[in-house]
Amino acid sequence: MARSKNKGSQEVNAGSMADIAFLLLIFFLVTTQIATNKGLTLLLPPKNEDDEPLEIKQNQKNVFKIQINSADLLLVEDEPLDDVTLIRDMVYDFVLNFGNPSSTKKGSDNVSDVDVYNSLPASMKSYITRSLGKDDSSDGPGAAIVSLKADRGSSYEIFIQILDELNAAYNRIYGERVGITDEEFRKLNRTDPKEKEMYDRARMGIPKAISIAEPSSQGG
Amino acid sequence: MSKFKKKSESSQDIPTAALPDIIFMLLFFFMVTTVLRETEIKVEQRIPRAEQLVKLEKKKLVTYLYVGKPKDKSMGTEALIQANDAFIGIDGIINWINQEKSNLSEAERDQITVSMKVDNETKMGIIVDIQTELRDANARKIMYATPQKSEDN
Protein backbone atom coordinates (compact mmCIF):
# COMPACT_ATOMS: atom_id res chain seq x y z
CA MET A 1 0.00 0.00 0.00
CA ALA A 2 2.56 2.54 1.16
CA ARG A 3 4.91 1.45 -1.54
CA SER A 4 2.67 2.49 -4.38
CA LYS A 5 2.24 5.93 -2.84
CA ASN A 6 5.99 6.45 -2.68
CA LYS A 7 6.32 5.55 -6.30
CA GLY A 8 4.34 8.60 -7.35
CA SER A 9 6.63 11.18 -5.65
CA GLN A 10 9.97 9.59 -6.34
CA GLU A 11 11.04 12.07 -9.04
CA VAL A 12 11.69 15.68 -8.18
CA ASN A 13 9.25 17.92 -9.91
CA ALA A 14 11.37 19.46 -12.66
CA GLY A 15 8.59 21.22 -14.48
CA SER A 16 9.44 24.68 -13.17
CA MET A 17 13.13 24.22 -13.87
CA ALA A 18 12.56 25.14 -17.49
CA ASP A 19 10.79 28.31 -16.44
CA ILE A 20 13.69 29.35 -14.23
CA ALA A 21 16.17 28.66 -16.98
CA PHE A 22 14.01 30.57 -19.44
CA LEU A 23 13.94 33.53 -17.11
CA LEU A 24 17.74 33.53 -16.90
CA LEU A 25 18.04 33.11 -20.63
CA ILE A 26 15.76 36.04 -21.33
CA PHE A 27 17.59 38.14 -18.78
CA PHE A 28 20.89 37.53 -20.55
CA LEU A 29 19.39 38.06 -23.96
CA VAL A 30 18.01 41.42 -22.93
CA THR A 31 20.94 42.75 -20.96
CA THR A 32 23.82 41.84 -23.24
CA GLN A 33 24.64 44.36 -25.91
CA ILE A 34 26.53 43.05 -28.83
CA ALA A 35 29.27 45.56 -29.52
CA THR A 36 28.58 47.23 -32.83
CA ASN A 37 31.52 48.09 -34.99
CA LYS A 38 29.72 50.55 -37.14
CA GLY A 39 30.58 54.09 -38.00
CA LEU A 40 31.98 56.48 -40.53
CA THR A 41 35.37 55.41 -41.75
CA LEU A 42 38.07 57.80 -42.79
CA LEU A 43 41.55 57.20 -44.12
CA LEU A 44 44.06 59.75 -42.93
CA PRO A 45 46.73 60.96 -45.32
CA PRO A 46 50.15 59.41 -44.83
CA LYS A 47 52.64 61.03 -42.56
CA ASN A 48 54.45 63.66 -44.51
CA GLU A 49 56.62 66.47 -43.30
CA ASP A 50 55.92 68.97 -46.05
CA ASP A 51 52.42 68.25 -47.23
CA GLU A 52 51.47 71.89 -47.56
CA PRO A 53 52.58 72.32 -51.20
CA LEU A 54 50.09 69.63 -52.21
CA GLU A 55 47.22 71.88 -51.29
CA ILE A 56 48.58 74.79 -53.27
CA LYS A 57 49.16 72.77 -56.39
CA GLN A 58 45.49 71.89 -56.63
CA ASN A 59 43.49 74.14 -58.84
CA GLN A 60 40.99 76.05 -56.74
CA LYS A 61 38.03 74.89 -58.79
CA ASN A 62 38.89 71.29 -58.02
CA VAL A 63 38.51 71.86 -54.29
CA PHE A 64 35.09 71.88 -52.72
CA LYS A 65 35.56 73.95 -49.61
CA ILE A 66 33.46 73.49 -46.51
CA GLN A 67 34.28 75.57 -43.47
CA ILE A 68 32.70 75.43 -40.05
CA ASN A 69 33.16 78.21 -37.55
CA SER A 70 33.07 78.06 -33.78
CA ALA A 71 29.35 78.87 -33.74
CA ASP A 72 28.70 75.83 -35.99
CA LEU A 73 27.83 78.02 -38.96
CA LEU A 74 28.76 76.79 -42.39
CA LEU A 75 30.57 78.37 -45.25
CA VAL A 76 30.32 76.22 -48.36
CA GLU A 77 32.25 77.38 -51.41
CA ASP A 78 32.58 80.80 -49.74
CA GLU A 79 28.85 81.18 -49.28
CA PRO A 80 26.93 80.70 -46.05
CA LEU A 81 24.66 77.68 -45.88
CA ASP A 82 22.03 76.83 -43.30
CA ASP A 83 20.81 73.42 -44.36
CA VAL A 84 23.41 70.71 -43.93
CA THR A 85 21.46 68.25 -46.05
CA LEU A 86 22.01 70.35 -49.18
CA ILE A 87 25.69 69.42 -49.13
CA ARG A 88 24.88 65.93 -50.39
CA ASP A 89 23.59 67.12 -53.76
CA MET A 90 26.23 69.79 -54.06
CA VAL A 91 29.03 67.30 -53.60
CA TYR A 92 27.35 64.84 -55.95
CA ASP A 93 27.25 67.50 -58.67
CA PHE A 94 30.76 68.66 -57.85
CA VAL A 95 32.42 65.26 -58.14
CA LEU A 96 30.58 64.29 -61.32
CA ASN A 97 31.06 67.66 -62.99
CA PHE A 98 33.54 66.52 -65.68
CA GLY A 99 34.26 70.14 -66.61
CA ASN A 100 37.51 69.30 -68.30
CA PRO A 101 38.19 65.57 -67.94
CA SER A 102 41.81 64.62 -68.43
CA SER A 103 42.75 61.61 -70.48
CA THR A 104 45.99 60.93 -68.63
CA LYS A 105 45.91 57.74 -66.69
CA LYS A 106 46.85 58.09 -63.08
CA GLY A 107 46.36 56.72 -59.61
CA SER A 108 46.59 53.15 -58.40
CA ASP A 109 43.72 52.11 -60.67
CA ASN A 110 45.42 53.57 -63.74
CA VAL A 111 42.28 55.01 -65.26
CA SER A 112 41.61 58.49 -66.58
CA ASP A 113 38.58 60.69 -66.09
CA VAL A 114 37.50 59.96 -69.65
CA ASP A 115 37.53 56.23 -68.91
CA VAL A 116 35.45 56.87 -65.81
CA TYR A 117 32.95 58.86 -67.83
CA ASN A 118 32.64 56.11 -70.41
CA SER A 119 32.03 53.53 -67.72
CA LEU A 120 29.06 55.39 -66.27
CA PRO A 121 25.53 54.19 -67.00
CA ALA A 122 23.49 56.12 -69.57
CA SER A 123 21.24 57.79 -67.00
CA MET A 124 24.19 59.37 -65.25
CA LYS A 125 25.78 60.44 -68.54
CA SER A 126 22.66 62.22 -69.66
CA TYR A 127 22.37 63.94 -66.29
CA ILE A 128 25.95 65.14 -66.60
CA THR A 129 25.57 66.47 -70.13
CA ARG A 130 22.24 68.08 -69.29
CA SER A 131 23.00 69.94 -66.11
CA LEU A 132 26.68 69.57 -65.26
CA GLY A 133 29.94 70.14 -67.06
CA LYS A 134 30.36 73.64 -65.71
CA ASP A 135 33.65 75.42 -66.18
CA ASP A 136 33.85 76.70 -62.64
CA SER A 137 33.45 73.30 -61.00
CA SER A 138 35.73 70.27 -60.87
CA ASP A 139 37.63 68.97 -63.90
CA GLY A 140 36.73 65.36 -63.17
CA PRO A 141 36.36 62.90 -60.33
CA GLY A 142 40.06 62.08 -60.37
CA ALA A 143 40.96 65.64 -59.48
CA ALA A 144 38.05 66.54 -57.23
CA ILE A 145 38.81 67.04 -53.57
CA VAL A 146 36.41 67.86 -50.80
CA SER A 147 38.09 69.93 -48.14
CA LEU A 148 36.47 70.08 -44.72
CA LYS A 149 37.88 72.65 -42.40
CA ALA A 150 36.47 72.84 -38.91
CA ASP A 151 37.34 75.47 -36.39
CA ARG A 152 38.76 74.20 -33.12
CA GLY A 153 35.69 75.50 -31.37
CA SER A 154 33.09 73.86 -33.58
CA SER A 155 31.19 70.89 -32.27
CA TYR A 156 31.74 67.27 -33.10
CA GLU A 157 28.06 66.86 -33.84
CA ILE A 158 28.05 69.12 -36.88
CA PHE A 159 31.28 67.57 -38.07
CA ILE A 160 29.69 64.12 -38.05
CA GLN A 161 26.62 65.46 -39.84
CA ILE A 162 28.75 66.87 -42.64
CA LEU A 163 30.95 63.81 -42.85
CA ASP A 164 27.77 61.78 -43.12
CA GLU A 165 26.54 63.92 -45.99
CA LEU A 166 29.86 63.62 -47.80
CA ASN A 167 29.82 59.85 -47.45
CA ALA A 168 26.23 59.83 -48.64
CA ALA A 169 27.19 61.72 -51.78
CA TYR A 170 30.05 59.37 -52.60
CA ASN A 171 28.06 56.25 -51.81
CA ARG A 172 25.31 57.48 -54.11
CA ILE A 173 27.80 57.97 -56.92
CA TYR A 174 29.34 54.55 -56.36
CA GLY A 175 25.97 52.88 -56.07
CA GLU A 176 24.48 54.50 -59.15
CA ARG A 177 27.53 53.60 -61.15
CA VAL A 178 26.93 49.89 -60.68
CA GLY A 179 23.16 50.18 -60.62
CA ILE A 180 22.36 49.79 -56.94
CA THR A 181 21.23 52.18 -54.22
CA ASP A 182 23.66 53.80 -51.82
CA GLU A 183 22.39 51.62 -49.03
CA GLU A 184 23.04 48.45 -50.99
CA PHE A 185 26.48 49.73 -51.85
CA ARG A 186 27.34 50.27 -48.21
CA LYS A 187 26.29 46.75 -47.34
CA LEU A 188 28.42 45.07 -49.99
CA ASN A 189 30.37 42.27 -48.40
CA ARG A 190 33.93 42.58 -49.55
CA THR A 191 34.88 39.04 -48.62
CA ASP A 192 32.55 37.74 -51.32
CA PRO A 193 34.50 37.87 -54.62
CA LYS A 194 31.42 38.75 -56.67
CA GLU A 195 30.50 41.68 -54.45
CA LYS A 196 34.13 42.70 -54.12
CA GLU A 197 34.34 42.97 -57.89
CA MET A 198 31.25 45.20 -57.86
CA TYR A 199 32.76 47.34 -55.12
CA ASP A 200 36.03 47.77 -56.99
CA ARG A 201 34.22 48.55 -60.22
CA ALA A 202 32.19 51.23 -58.48
CA ARG A 203 35.17 52.89 -56.87
CA MET A 204 37.60 52.65 -59.78
CA GLY A 205 38.84 56.08 -60.80
CA ILE A 206 36.66 57.97 -58.31
CA PRO A 207 38.71 58.32 -55.16
CA LYS A 208 36.89 59.31 -52.01
CA ALA A 209 39.03 62.38 -51.49
CA ILE A 210 37.82 63.91 -48.27
CA SER A 211 40.46 66.08 -46.72
CA ILE A 212 40.17 67.21 -43.13
CA ALA A 213 42.16 70.39 -43.15
CA GLU A 214 44.11 71.67 -40.17
CA PRO A 215 41.86 74.12 -38.43
CA SER A 216 42.64 77.66 -37.65
CA SER A 217 43.49 77.99 -33.99
CA GLN A 218 41.21 80.84 -33.08
CA GLY A 219 38.33 82.90 -34.29
CA GLY A 220 35.10 82.23 -36.00
CA MET B 1 -9.77 -3.12 -27.05
CA SER B 2 -8.95 -2.73 -23.41
CA LYS B 3 -5.34 -3.59 -24.07
CA PHE B 4 -5.06 -0.83 -26.62
CA LYS B 5 -6.56 1.76 -24.28
CA LYS B 6 -4.02 1.04 -21.58
CA LYS B 7 -1.08 1.56 -23.86
CA SER B 8 -2.16 5.01 -25.04
CA GLU B 9 -2.78 6.14 -21.48
CA SER B 10 0.81 5.58 -20.42
CA SER B 11 2.29 7.93 -23.03
CA GLN B 12 -0.18 10.75 -22.78
CA ASP B 13 2.11 13.62 -21.69
CA ILE B 14 5.40 14.53 -23.29
CA PRO B 15 8.38 14.04 -21.03
CA THR B 16 9.69 17.50 -20.21
CA ALA B 17 12.58 16.37 -18.07
CA ALA B 18 15.07 17.20 -20.83
CA LEU B 19 13.68 20.67 -21.44
CA PRO B 20 15.66 22.38 -18.65
CA ASP B 21 18.81 20.84 -20.03
CA ILE B 22 18.15 22.28 -23.45
CA ILE B 23 17.38 25.69 -22.03
CA PHE B 24 20.44 25.56 -19.82
CA MET B 25 22.54 24.74 -22.83
CA LEU B 26 21.20 27.80 -24.62
CA LEU B 27 21.81 29.84 -21.50
CA PHE B 28 25.41 28.73 -21.23
CA PHE B 29 25.93 29.37 -24.90
CA PHE B 30 24.82 32.96 -24.51
CA MET B 31 26.75 33.44 -21.31
CA VAL B 32 29.95 32.20 -22.89
CA THR B 33 29.65 33.99 -26.22
CA THR B 34 28.70 37.43 -24.95
CA VAL B 35 31.72 39.50 -24.21
CA LEU B 36 31.16 41.87 -21.38
CA ARG B 37 32.60 45.32 -21.65
CA GLU B 38 36.12 45.13 -20.35
CA THR B 39 36.59 48.80 -19.77
CA GLU B 40 34.54 51.07 -17.67
CA ILE B 41 33.84 54.24 -19.58
CA LYS B 42 34.68 57.27 -17.56
CA VAL B 43 33.67 59.94 -20.03
CA GLU B 44 30.24 61.05 -21.16
CA GLN B 45 29.08 59.28 -24.26
CA ARG B 46 26.18 60.71 -26.15
CA ILE B 47 27.21 59.87 -29.64
CA PRO B 48 25.69 61.68 -32.61
CA ARG B 49 23.81 59.52 -35.06
CA ALA B 50 24.69 59.13 -38.70
CA GLU B 51 23.20 57.46 -41.70
CA GLN B 52 25.99 56.23 -43.94
CA LEU B 53 27.50 53.61 -41.71
CA VAL B 54 30.02 51.05 -42.73
CA LYS B 55 30.59 47.88 -40.80
CA LEU B 56 34.12 46.91 -39.92
CA GLU B 57 34.99 43.40 -40.82
CA LYS B 58 38.01 42.50 -38.74
CA LYS B 59 37.16 43.03 -35.13
CA LYS B 60 40.61 42.04 -33.96
CA LEU B 61 42.22 45.05 -35.59
CA VAL B 62 39.99 47.58 -33.89
CA THR B 63 41.03 49.56 -30.85
CA TYR B 64 38.85 52.05 -29.10
CA LEU B 65 39.31 55.62 -27.96
CA TYR B 66 36.67 57.37 -25.91
CA VAL B 67 36.51 61.14 -25.92
CA GLY B 68 34.22 63.35 -23.89
CA LYS B 69 33.72 65.26 -20.72
CA PRO B 70 34.70 63.26 -17.64
CA LYS B 71 31.77 61.83 -15.72
CA ASP B 72 33.59 62.65 -12.51
CA LYS B 73 32.77 66.30 -12.05
CA SER B 74 35.88 66.96 -9.94
CA MET B 75 38.02 66.44 -13.03
CA GLY B 76 36.75 69.54 -14.74
CA THR B 77 34.64 70.01 -17.83
CA GLU B 78 37.32 69.83 -20.52
CA ALA B 79 37.02 66.83 -22.81
CA LEU B 80 39.43 64.03 -21.98
CA ILE B 81 40.67 61.02 -23.91
CA GLN B 82 40.22 57.57 -22.47
CA ALA B 83 42.13 54.61 -23.82
CA ASN B 84 41.46 51.23 -22.24
CA ASP B 85 41.00 52.02 -18.58
CA ALA B 86 42.91 55.22 -18.12
CA PHE B 87 42.90 58.78 -19.27
CA ILE B 88 45.73 59.67 -21.59
CA GLY B 89 46.97 63.00 -22.81
CA ILE B 90 47.40 64.01 -26.42
CA ASP B 91 51.11 63.21 -26.27
CA GLY B 92 50.40 59.71 -24.94
CA ILE B 93 48.57 58.58 -28.06
CA ILE B 94 51.62 57.56 -30.07
CA ASN B 95 52.83 55.40 -27.19
CA TRP B 96 49.44 53.85 -26.76
CA ILE B 97 49.14 53.05 -30.49
CA ASN B 98 52.54 51.41 -30.47
CA GLN B 99 51.49 49.34 -27.50
CA GLU B 100 48.31 48.26 -29.24
CA LYS B 101 50.23 47.48 -32.39
CA SER B 102 52.62 45.21 -30.51
CA ASN B 103 49.62 43.04 -29.60
CA LEU B 104 48.97 42.36 -33.26
CA SER B 105 50.93 40.15 -35.58
CA GLU B 106 53.62 41.66 -37.76
CA ALA B 107 51.58 41.70 -40.94
CA GLU B 108 48.51 43.27 -39.39
CA ARG B 109 50.18 46.17 -37.66
CA ASP B 110 49.60 48.71 -40.37
CA GLN B 111 45.97 47.79 -40.67
CA ILE B 112 45.11 48.80 -37.16
CA THR B 113 41.82 50.70 -37.03
CA VAL B 114 41.07 53.19 -34.32
CA SER B 115 37.43 53.51 -33.49
CA MET B 116 36.66 56.81 -31.85
CA LYS B 117 33.60 57.18 -29.70
CA VAL B 118 33.15 60.85 -29.18
CA ASP B 119 30.57 62.75 -27.19
CA ASN B 120 28.22 65.18 -28.89
CA GLU B 121 29.49 68.30 -27.21
CA THR B 122 33.17 67.73 -27.77
CA LYS B 123 34.95 70.49 -29.61
CA MET B 124 36.71 69.71 -32.86
CA GLY B 125 40.05 70.94 -31.56
CA ILE B 126 40.77 67.80 -29.59
CA ILE B 127 39.56 65.58 -32.43
CA VAL B 128 41.93 67.20 -34.87
CA ASP B 129 44.78 66.88 -32.38
CA ILE B 130 44.05 63.17 -32.03
CA GLN B 131 43.99 62.79 -35.80
CA THR B 132 47.36 64.45 -36.13
CA GLU B 133 48.84 62.15 -33.51
CA LEU B 134 47.34 59.07 -35.13
CA ARG B 135 48.81 60.13 -38.42
CA ASP B 136 52.20 60.47 -36.80
CA ALA B 137 51.80 57.06 -35.20
CA ASN B 138 50.99 55.63 -38.63
CA ALA B 139 47.54 54.44 -37.63
CA ARG B 140 45.76 55.92 -40.59
CA LYS B 141 42.53 54.00 -40.55
CA ILE B 142 40.10 55.66 -38.24
CA MET B 143 36.42 55.31 -37.70
CA TYR B 144 33.96 57.58 -35.97
CA ALA B 145 31.71 55.09 -34.26
CA THR B 146 28.09 56.19 -34.52
CA PRO B 147 24.75 54.49 -34.09
CA GLN B 148 22.41 54.24 -37.04
CA LYS B 149 20.09 57.15 -37.58
CA SER B 150 16.53 55.94 -37.52
CA GLU B 151 14.42 56.36 -40.63
CA ASP B 152 11.89 58.80 -39.28
CA ASN B 153 14.20 61.64 -38.32
Model confidence at A107: pLDDT above 50: yes
Q: Hey, is the C-beta of B55 within 8 angstroms of any chain A C-beta?
A: yes
Three-state secondary-structure class, residue A51:
coil
Q: In total, how many domains does chain A have?
A: 1
d(CA B79, CA B66): 10
The pLDDT score that the predictor gives to residue A93 is 85
Nearest residue to B65 (alpha-carbon basis) of A77, A137, A39: A39
pLDDT digits (tens, 9 = 90+) for A15-54: 777 788 788 888 877 776 666 678 888 888 777 655 555 5
Q: Is A42 on the interface with B (CB under 8 A)?
A: yes
Partner B contacted by A23 (CB < 8 A): no
B67: pLDDT strictly greater than 50: yes
What class has domain B59-144?
Answer: alpha beta
Q: Write the CB contacts of B65 (distance below 8 Å, at least 6 apart in sequence).
A: B81, B82, B83, B114, B115, B116, B117, B130
Q: Is the pTM of this model over 0.80?
A: no
- CA B100 to chain CA centroid, nearest Å: 16
User: Which A residues, 179 through 208, put their C-beta within 8 Å of a C-beta on chain B?
Assistant: 182, 186-187, 190-191
Least-confidence region, from A5-9, A183-187, B27-31: A5-9
Strand partners, B64: B115
- Return all residues near A155 (Cβ < 8 A) that are at least 6 apart: A72, B120, B121, B122, B123, B124
Measured CA angle at A134 (ends A133, A135), to 5 deg: 120
pLDDT tens digits, B85-108: 788 888 888 888 888 888 888 888
- What ipTM does the predicted assembly reach? 0.72
Of A119-133, B1-15, B19-33, B64-78, which range is least confident?
A: B1-15
Nearest Cα of chain A lies from the Cα of B137 at a distance, in angstroms, of 8
Q: Does A12 touch chain B (CB under 8 A)?
A: no
Shortest distance, CA A159 to any CA of chain B (angstroms):
8
Contact B50 A40 (CB under 8 A): yes
Which residue of A12, A36, A41 is the best one to mutate when testing the B interface, meaning the one whose CB has the most B CBs within 10 A? A41
Q: Write down the pLDDT at residue B8.
A: 55
Mean pLDDT across A89-112: 75
Q: Which of A34, A152, A190 sits opposite B125 (nearest CB)?
A: A152
Say if residue A99's pLDDT is above 70: yes
What's the whole-number mean pLDDT along residues B39-66? 80
A64 in a structural domain = yes
Residue A213 bridge partners (DSSP): A149
Q: Which domain, by its residues, includes A129?
A: 53-213
B147 to chain A: which residues are within 8 Å by CB? 36, 38
Q: Among A29, A34, A40, whose Cβ lies nearest the Cβ of B143?
A: A40
Question: Cβ A152–B123 below 8 Å, yes or no?
Answer: yes
- Residue A1: the pLDDT is 47
- Give the B window 61-120 contacts with A, CB below 8 Å: 62, 113, 115, 118-120
What does R_g of chain A's alpha carbons equal in angstroms?
27
Contact B34 A28 (CB under 8 A): yes
A66 within a domain of the structure (yes/no): yes
Q: Are B90 and B45 in contact (CB under 8 A)?
A: no
Confidence at residue A219, expressed as pLDDT on a 0 to 100 scale: 45
Q: Is residue A106 part of a domain?
A: yes
Give me the residue from B16, B62, B140 closest to A18, CB to CB: B16
Hey, where are the domains in chain B? 2-33, 59-144
Kindly state the percentage of chain B with pLDDT values over 90: 0
Alpha carbons A84 and A28: distance in angstroms, whole number = 41
With respect to residue A7, please indicate whether it lies within any of the assigned structural domains: no
DSSP class per residue in A58-77: S-GGGEEEEEE-TTS-EEET
The pLDDT confidence band at residue B152, using thresholds 50, 70 and 90, is very low
